Amino acid sequence: MSGETELPVPDTADVRSGPEVDDALLSVLPLLGEWHGEGQAAGAGGDHRFGQWIRFSHDGRGFLAYESRTWRLTDDGQIVGPDARESGFWRPGSGDDVELLVANPEGLVEIYVGQARTTTSWELATDVVARTPDAPDVTRAVRLYGIVEGALMYAVDRATGGSPLSPIMSARLERLR
């Protein structure tokens, strides 16, 4: 079988098509869409550039589905191969409260709680970090997202073991749709 299968209840990354947007999503609605760009990462494997694609979509219910894929880039922008990948859900709460549930193939599941700082920025910190036995020793993380002049910008800081929070990745992404 070739091609993509059409699901009976599709989700969309566009407010102009697909299911009606649930009112509960208003505090995170600016994120809805597909984003693409580049960023910088730091970690055990050394500092490196990466390309990234992020999709925030909905199916008419009160949450955004989140998917992110990155690929390593050389200093001159050539693709080296796959890098980080994660998926999850943004769950708006009452008022400006928001939760983010994220899982990645390294064996980490992070549950963030936070709030909208403005209509186009969000700050979240881990409430729970769960790890498989061979996952990185992440103990705490903070994420800051904002839309600045039409671009999605974010920064992720993590603490491992007894170390304090330190930057691990940041990027600037442009809206694809």
Q: What is the pLDDT of residues 84-99, one digit of tens each?
A: 999 999 999 999 999 9
Whether residue 56 is predicted with pLDDT greater than 60 in this model: the reply is: yes
Confidence of residue 5 (pLDDT cuts 50, 70, 90): low
Q: CB-hemisphere CA count at 13 Å for 41? A: 17
SS3 assignment for 45-77? CCCEEEEEEEEEEECCCCCEEEEEEEEEECCCC
Domains of the chain: 23-73+83-175 (2.40.128.20)
Task: Enter the pTM of the model.
Answer: 0.92
Per-residue pLDDT tens digits for 119-168: 999 999 999 999 999 999 999 999 999 999 999 999 999 999 889 999 99
